């Protein structure tokens, strides 16, 4: 039996709907043995997550998911095994989330222009951490108010590029995000590469530059990938000599997200990220 590791998920500290300790309990209930909470651009949930994990008998890796702008797209870089007291990483995350408030107000104005009023206040009602208002919170408001049937529909109709509520944003650079993670003792991992709308050349540039900056991992098995994408990004891991990660990207029990700890194991022949990170794992 291979290790049931789930190294990507969210709590109310970013855009999940469960508190860190409740995500921990759910992960444990679904058989997770090694867990990381990876909230967007924020580590305020790390102590609660770690303490709950260890009390439940789960090993823990500290984590975060950093928003990066690369080649006109938003790319997510997961940091695993980071030191949660690292000052430079904390400052980098604070800077990365800094523009969210202004962006949220602009999103609200854009939605008002197509007849949807009160979106900023509505989204705020769903926010667990006022520093981290995200598109997901707007999506929950639009579902609650009956504009759309579910969260994916809101993204399709309103919150993605070319749609009326989309506001482009400049996140961290790839170089900065990787450097913050590596200097905090962690491993940088490209999150869900199958989700980005890159040409083959752009994707090649992403992985080449990521490696050149010191990145060492790629998510192969994630809730955002199809089964063919598991094989495709297993090839990428081999081609770029990257360690492989596995994570559900769980956000909520109610929105059809992949369940914690439920994905298939990593394809054979890849080296999992938790091997080189063994010295960063907090043991239950
Ligand atoms: P933000 O960081 O504010 O741009 O929000 C990004 C978050 O929106 C992601 O982390 C996902 O949780 C969510 N998201 C992005 N695209 C979609 C989609 N097509 N369907 C559902 N959720 C999405
Ligand atoms: Mn999210
Ligand atoms: Mn992501
Ligand atoms: Mn995520």
> In testing the pocket of ligand 1, which one of 134, 191, 195 has its CB within 8 Å of the most ligand atoms?
134
Structure tokens at 79: 């940091």
Residue-level pLDDT at 20: 98
Does position 1 have pLDDT exceeding 90, yes or no?
A: no
Measured by CA distance, the residue closest to atom 3 of ligand 1 is 134
User: CB within 8 A of 279, min separation 6: which ones?
Assistant: none
Pocket of ligand 1 contains residue 38 by CB under 6 Å: no
Does position 235 have pLDDT exceeding 90, yes or no?
A: yes
Q: Which residues surround ligand 2, an ion (CB under 5 A)?
A: 15
Rounded to the nearest angstrom, the distance between the alpha carbon of 77 and the centre of ligand 4 is: 9
Q: Which helix (H) or strand (E) holds 70?
A: strand 63-70
Per-residue pLDDT reduced to its tens digit, 118-164: 999 999 999 999 999 999 999 999 999 999 999 999 999 999 999 99
Structure tokens at 86: 């690292």
Structure tokens at 121: 């206040």
Does position 3 have pLDDT exceeding 70, yes or no?
A: yes
Does position 218 have pLDDT exceeding 80, yes or no?
A: yes
**195: helix, coil or strand?**
helix
Angle at 69 between CA 109 and CA 125, to 5 degrees: 40
Rounded to the nearest angstrom, the distance between the alpha carbon of 8 and the centre of ligand 3 is: 9
Nearest to 215 by CA among 189, 253, 177: 189
- CA dihedral for 166, 169, 173, 177, sign (positive or negative): negative
* Nearest-10 crossing angle of helices 200-212, 174-183: 40
Residue-level pLDDT at 75: 98
User: CB within 8 A of 174, min separation 6: which ones?
Assistant: 68, 70, 75, 77, 206, 209, 210, 213
Q: What is the pTM of this model?
A: 0.98
15 pairs with which residues across the strands? Answer: none
Per-residue pLDDT reduced to its tens digit, 152-177: 999 999 999 999 999 999 999 999 99
Mean pLDDT of the chain: 97
End-to-end, the C-alpha distance of the chain in Å comes to 19
């Amino acid at each position: 039996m291979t290790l049931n590791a789930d190294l990507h998920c969210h709590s109310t500290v970013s855009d999940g709907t469960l508190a860190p300790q409740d995500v921990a309990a759910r992960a444990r209930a679904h058989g997770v043995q090694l867990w990381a909470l990876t909230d967007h651009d924020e580590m305020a949930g790390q102590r609660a997550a770690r303490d709950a994990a260890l009390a439940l008998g789960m090993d823990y890796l500290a984590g975060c998911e950093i928003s990066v702008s690369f080649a006109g797209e938003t790319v997510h870089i997961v940091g695993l095994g980071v030191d949660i007291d690292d000052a430079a990483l904390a400052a980098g995350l604070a800077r990365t989330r800094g523009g969210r408030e202004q962006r949220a107000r602009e999103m609200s104005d854009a939605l008002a222009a197509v007849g949807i009023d009160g979106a900023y206040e509505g989204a705020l009602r769903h926010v667990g951490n006022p520093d981290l208002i995200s598109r997901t919170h707007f999506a929950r408001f639009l579902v609650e108010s009956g504009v759309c049937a579910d969260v994916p529909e809101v993204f399709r109709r309103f919150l993605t590029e070319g749609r009326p509520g989309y506001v482009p944003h400049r996140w961290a650079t790839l170089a900065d995000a990787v450097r913050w993670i590596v200097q905090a003792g962690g491993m940088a991992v490209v999150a869900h590469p199958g989700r980005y709308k890159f040409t083959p050349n752009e994707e090649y540039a992403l992985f080449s530059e990521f490696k050149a900056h010191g990145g060492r991992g790629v998510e192969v098995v994630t809730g955002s990938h199809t089964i063919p994408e598991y094989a495709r990004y297993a090839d990428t891991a081999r081609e770029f000599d990257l360690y492989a990660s596995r994570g559900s990207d769980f956000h909520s029990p109610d929105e059809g997200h992949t369940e914690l700890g439920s994905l298939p194991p990593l394809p054979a022949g890849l080296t999992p990220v938790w091997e080189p990170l063994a010295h960063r794992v907090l043991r239950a």
